[in-house]
């Protein structure tokens, strides 16, 4: 594509710019696209969401369609009208709702579509997969954020096979290079310098298994470690998370921050980052923690082993095993020299292989291909 031509408008279609890895990927992409070649817009099917400002500050328009409750049959037509109005040439859809309505609208508007699957949705039924199989015929390309996610969907929707690729997620590494001191980050939560803070971040949804995180924290405290929990996030399981904390007698030892947009300033408060999920694609939070120099302990699910490499960049344990998480955390605590080596390697790995620049370059090359 010659640089003298006008930039091509690419629309990212997603439910909302709320808390979540897919949303962070969209923000990273639209902020880093080469504006001489591409003009990004974000279209939210529901409302804009709390993170929309991250796009708008970079002069990226964020539009909202406020989908009606239930089956909103006007939605694909309203979306198609918006695509035409903004002279969109390529549609990039994210997550199930984005794929469903975005592909339908693209059919109506006669536009090519690229779709990114960010995780592995166990909740999708045979009906969802059948819908996917039909609508995928509209797709120019299907992108998966890990080989594991690709294998998961290929098994359920064989139609994906001919046009799928794996692109790893990337993050804005510069945002996570320690902007605040450990003491300053901890002060707002009342953590004393000698307390050992185990952190996590993510939506309160079943697959994140916060119950396992809290069980591991309780095990660490039972071993005589003054361990505290710093839990960033919110979501549908808020009540259940709060009652788990109470039931395990951890109320004095856990801080629930709610949804926060200043994550780069919160990671330095953590002595270790722990992810207890039983399903993932390639979690953005792990890349962020690694980039911020926080040791990472995670369950070995989805594409996590691509970045958390045991003995090199972190610790991996089986899903659902709170004892194994606690054991790894104990090891990180006891052998600080080894832990420091791992975090240094982790930081380098993210910078070299999981940067937003690398991810954006891959997507731009893909857009060029599709538009040809």
Contact in structure between 328 and 314 (CB atoms under 8 Å): no
- The whole-model pTM stands at 0.87
**Domains recognised in the chain with CATH numbers:** 8-170+355-371 (3.40.50.2000), 173-353 (3.40.50.2000)
Instruction: Quote the pLDDT of residue 28.
Output: 95
Query: Running along the chain, 372 residues long, what does each successive block of 10 average in pLDDT?
Result: 77 93 94 96 96 95 95 95 97 96 96 94 87 84 92 83 87 86 93 94 96 98 96 96 98 96 94 96 94 97 95 97 97 95 96 94 96 92
Q: What is the C-alpha separation between 41 and 157, in angstroms, rounded?
A: 29
Instruction: Quote the pLDDT of residue 2.
Output: 47
Instruction: Quote the pLDDT of residue 163.
Output: 82
End-to-end CA, the chain: 9
Q: What is the C-alpha separation between 236 and 112, in angstroms, rounded?
A: 34
Spacing of C-alpha 128 from chain mean position:
22
Instruction: Quote the pLDDT of residue 140.
Output: 85
Strands 296-299 and 272-275: parallel
Q: Give the DSSP letter of residue 240.
A: H
């Amino acid at each position: 594509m010659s640089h003298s031509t006008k930039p091509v408008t690419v629309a990212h279609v997603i439910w909302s710019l709320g808390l979540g890895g897919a949303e962070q990927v969209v923000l990273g992409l639209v902020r880093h696209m080469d504006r001489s070649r591409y003009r990004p817009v974000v279209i939210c099917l529901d409302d804009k969401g709390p993170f929309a400002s991250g796009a708008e500050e970079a002069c990226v328009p964020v539009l909202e369609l406020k989908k009606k409750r239930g089956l909103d049959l006007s939605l694909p037509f309203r979306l198609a009208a918006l695509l035409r109005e903004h002279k969109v040439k390529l549609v990039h859809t994210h997550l199930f709702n984005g794929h469903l309505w975005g592909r339908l609208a693209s059919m109506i508007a006669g536009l090519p579509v690229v779709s990114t699957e960010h995780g592995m949705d166990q909740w999708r039924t045979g009906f969802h997969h059948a819908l996917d199989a039909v609508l995928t015929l509209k797709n120019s390309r299907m992108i998966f954020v890990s080989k594991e996610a690709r294998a998961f969907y290929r098994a359920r929707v064989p139609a994906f096979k001919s046009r799928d690729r794996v692109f790893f997620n990337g993050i804005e590494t510069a945002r996570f290079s320690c902007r605040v001191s450990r003491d300053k980050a901890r002060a707002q939560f009342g953590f004393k310098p000698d307390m050992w803070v185990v952190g996590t971040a993510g939506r309160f949804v079943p697959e994140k298994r916060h119950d396992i995180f809290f069980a591991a924290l309780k095990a660490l405290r039972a071993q005589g470690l003054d361990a505290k929990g710093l839990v960033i996030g919110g979501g549908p399981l808020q009540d259940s998370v709060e009652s788990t904390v109470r039931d395990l007698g951890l109320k004095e030892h856990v801080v629930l921050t709610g949804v926060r947009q200043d994550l780069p300033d919160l990671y330095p408060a953590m002595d270790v980052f722990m992810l207890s999920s039983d399903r993932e694609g390639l979690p953005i939070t792990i890349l962020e923690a690694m980039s911020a120099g926080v040791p990472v302990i995670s369950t070995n699910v989805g594409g996590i082993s691509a970045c958390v490499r045991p003995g090199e960049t972190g610790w991996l344990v089986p899903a659902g095993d709170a004892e194994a998480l606690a054991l790894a955390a104990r090891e990180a605590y006891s052998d600080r020299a080894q832990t420091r080596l791992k975090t240094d390697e982790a930081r380098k790995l993210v910078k070299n292989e999981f940067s937003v620049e690398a991810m954006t370059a891959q997507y731009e090359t893909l857009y060029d291909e599709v538009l040809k």
